[in-house]
Amino acid sequence: MTGHVHAEADWANGMALVNFWRGAENLTVRPPDGKDRWAVSQAAPYRRIHLAGDLALDDGGWSSGGFMADCCVDGTIRSGTQQQWFTRTSRIDGWQGSNWNMMFMGGPGAPATSFPAPPYTTLQTVPVIREKPFLCVGPDGAWSIFVPSLRRDAAGVSWDGTPGGRHVPLRDVLIADPATPVATINRALAAGRHLVLTPGVYRLRQPLRVTRADTVILGLGLATLLAEGGTAALTVADVPGVTIAGLLIDAGPQNSPVLMQIGPRGADGDHGDRPTLLADLFFRVGGAAIGNAGTCLEINSHHVIGDHLWIWRADHGDRDGGRVHVGWDESRATHGLVVNGDHVTCYGLFVEHFQGWQTLWNGEDGRTFFYQNELPYDPPSQRGWRADSPRGWAAYKVADHVRRHEAVGMGIYANFTADPSIVLASAVEVPDVSGVRVSDVTTISLGGGKGTIAHLVNGAGEAARPGSTRQTLIRYGGGA
């Protein structure tokens, strides 16, 4: 592209806080003036882009992103008002700016670690990653889906030289639209075909079912799976090498116990050589319409990679004309993410506004690199939020039996607008054992102090509260 590939917030006087659900990927961009803008917040991936110039991540007002992966930016990235940002395996010429939580992994040109002032967390490599598949013209001149190879201890972009991976010819792919019957899609998946979901809303009375190893499901234009009648939207058997990417999963009005399930409960397969990839998956409960769910994403299989997940209960919004469906008793959901499998790794995990533990991690050897969370805005009172305990529900809970876990670069924010007197005992709760490590954590009481987070991890750290709204903790556990 000779020109601009950009996201602006001028329509909202520069406030990019609601620039959700945008994306740009697989492009070389040459702006004539040497500058571009990507002023976004959640669910707005910037992937596999070579930008010949500088990049601004805001438009003057507040912004709350964001995610960049597998990119090369020849100029300087200016974060501006971005509250937080995650950059993975990208080569940049320079970085300016910070606010609360900026994390870099496997990226030449990234600033050195200096958390908490400025709040940069930088790791030299990415332990295990497989890039998101994409449509392309293959070596034979025909359209295909390119599925990149798995990389370990990765640094820099995947597309220098000849990238590793495989081409899936379109003759092996079902290209569906919202009128395609679910039974037709499931027959194709059972027969070993892959799936491209073109843009639109797929109303599902039964889930899409992935039963074959190495299946690719690729959504275009935020293809949306709407679970109706209390069903799940998508389930995956305990098989290796599956890819689910580029989807918005919406809860329907009848409660779905789980919206997406990766592996059945009790799954025990070893998929270390061919992990499943979940990339650019965005979940919504409520907002545009009433939605109800128990858990949005449940991961039961071992060896799963989550690469940019935004899991969101809509608990606030513009109620003008009654069009936005939010409220403690209207659109309900308990957990955003529940992990029961072992060796699950998440990069760029955003989970917000749920009514119980936002993230509950039961599996061993789990890893999260960059976590962003806003607690629910709308609990009516301390007891109304959690009747059985005055502690409240932690934003990130690692189960008491877990013995090995790592979480790095965490930002957790309170904005209890319905009752600012609410206190959360701890933003993060983990077992106090040597194999569990948490580092570079930030808590903030937003709005000048609407609510209190008493501690950052277990009983460690000072309270984020009115009059002292931001707190940080460099390290907890692991023998520290």
**What is the set of active-site residues?**
374
> Omega before 411 cis (within 30°)?
no
User: What is the C-alpha separation between 67 and 69, in angstroms, rounded?
Assistant: 7
Contact criterion met (CB below 8 Å) for 354 and 334? yes
Q: In this structure, what DSSP letter does residue 401 have?
A: T
Among residues 20, 63, 57, which one has the least CA distance to residue 283?
A: 20
Instruction: Let me know if 110 is exposed, middle or buried by CB neighbors in 10 A (0-12, 13-18, 19+).
Output: buried
User: What is the C-alpha separation between 237 and 228, in angstroms, rounded?
Assistant: 21
Residue type, 111: P
Neighbouring CB atoms inside 10 A of 386's CB total 16
User: Phi and psi of 373, rounded to 5°?
Assistant: -145, 135
Contact criterion met (CB below 8 Å) for 409 and 371? yes
Among residues 131, 79, 74, 141, which one has the least CA distance to residue 104?
A: 79
Torsion of CA 219, 223, 228, 231, to 10 degrees: 20
As given in the structure block, the two tokens for residue 212 are 């074959």
Q: In this structure, what DSSP letter does residue 132 have?
A: P
